[in-house]
């Protein structure tokens, strides 16, 4: 996009802002903004190339990520940490990231909010797991988790959800397939172009999967912002990337977290 195109989008969005209810979640607002960007750029997927590059980069770490899990004393905990580490790949909230540093610290970081024992207990004897993905590239880290869970819990049926159409660098079906997830899980999409899961904007098919899953593991901040008040049990696996979410969750900005929210807490 040219500077003139960018200025036009900024002006158009500024004029739209007074019409946007204060109660809208950030993903719901972003859905409006990125629709304007796609229209102005005449490009349905402006991040397509960099999403491909991020997935290719993440695939080079595949063997190392599997080794981290296989050599860990607590492999379940390690697999969840690996999946959480992948959430650093996020162009919607971060302009730069150090994947080498993040992977090197996976097993050594102290984490304030880490509801791993609740997740471990709920995984026992459950057969339907829905993982709601976030970013392209991060999908490779999710693939490693799915491979581990499939071996550890052979009876579990894993469904992996992506965005219904491109928005920022969030994963679409194409990105999940590029990461190899199609060989391990059933891929579905939200039916929406929001960078989160807005339940009044998703498809009936997604909603059926969301409601029928025995466990929902939601990745990333956009999904947390849009689903934290949903009336069902959800595990949120994310890096805290802004001060507002840090305040809401009582978790320091920049820290990884595994947060369990029960429907009884709503």
pLDDT tens, the chain, 266 aa long: 567 767 777 777 778 777 787 778 888 888 888 888 887 777 889 899 999 999 999 999 999 999 999 999 999 999 999 999 999 886 655 556 778 888 888 888 889 999 999 999 999 989 999 999 999 999 999 999 999 999 999 999 999 999 999 999 999 999 999 999 999 999 999 999 999 999 999 999 999 999 999 999 999 999 999 999 999 999 999 999 888 889 888 999 989 999 999 987 76
With beta carbons less than 8 A apart as the criterion, state whether 168 and 46 touch.
Answer: no
Angle of CA points 241, 262, 203, to nearest 5°: 75
The 10 Å CB-count burial string (b at 16+, else e) for 191-206 is bbbbbbbbbebbeeeb
Residue 169: the pLDDT is 92
Residue 125: the pLDDT is 87
Nearest to 80 by CA among 136, 152, 155: 152
Does some domain include residue 89?
A: yes
Does some domain include residue 191?
A: yes
* CA 9/CA 3 separation, integer angstroms: 10
Residue 91: the pLDDT is 64
CA distances from 218 to 8, 38, 56, 145, 258 (A): 35, 26, 23, 13, 10
- The whole domain housing 261 covers 48-265
Does some domain include residue 225?
A: yes
CA distances from 131 to 12, 15, 143, 236 (A): 35, 37, 11, 10
Does some domain include residue 60?
A: yes
Does some domain include residue 14?
A: no
Helix, coil or strand: residue 129: strand
Does some domain include residue 201?
A: yes
* CA 75/CA 91 separation, integer angstroms: 29
Does some domain include residue 25?
A: no
CATH number of the domain residue 252 falls in: 3.40.50.10880
Phi first, then psi, for residue 263 (nearest 5°) are -60, -25
Does some domain include residue 56?
A: yes
Domain count, the chain: 1
């Amino acid at each position: 996009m040219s500077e003139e195109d960018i200025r036009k989008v900024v002006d158009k969005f500024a004029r739209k802002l007074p019409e946007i209810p204060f109660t809208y979640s950030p993903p719901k607002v972003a859905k409006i903004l990125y629709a304007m960007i796609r229209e102005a750029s005449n490009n349905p997927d402006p991040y397509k190339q960099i999403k491909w590059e991020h997935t290719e980069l993440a695939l080079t770490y595949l063997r190392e990520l599997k080794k981290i899990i296989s050599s860990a004393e607590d492999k379940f905990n390690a697999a969840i940490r690996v999946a959480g580490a992948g959430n650093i790949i996020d162009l919607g909230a971060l302009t730069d990231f150090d994947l080498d540093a993040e992977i090197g610290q996976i097993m050594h970081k102290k984490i304030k909010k880490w509801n791993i024992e609740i997740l471990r207990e709920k995984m026992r004897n459950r057969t339907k797991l829905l993982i709601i993905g976030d970013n392209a590239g991060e999908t490779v880290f999710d693939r490693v988790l799915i491979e581990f869970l499939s071996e550890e819990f052979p009876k579990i049926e894993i469904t992996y959800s992506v965005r219904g159409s491109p928005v920022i660098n969030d994963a679409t079906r194409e990105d999940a397939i590029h990461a190899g997830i199609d060989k391990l899980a059933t891929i579905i999409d939200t039916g929406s172009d929001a960078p989160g899961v807005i339940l009044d904007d998703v498809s009936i098919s997604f909603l059926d999967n969301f409601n029928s899953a025995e466990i929902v593991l939601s990745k990333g901040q956009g999904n947390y912002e849009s689903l934290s008040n949903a009336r069902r049990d959800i595990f949120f696996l994310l890096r805290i990337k802004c001060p507002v979410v840090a305040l809401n969750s009582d978790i320091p900005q920049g820290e990884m977290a595994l947060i369990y929210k029960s429907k009884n807490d709503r």
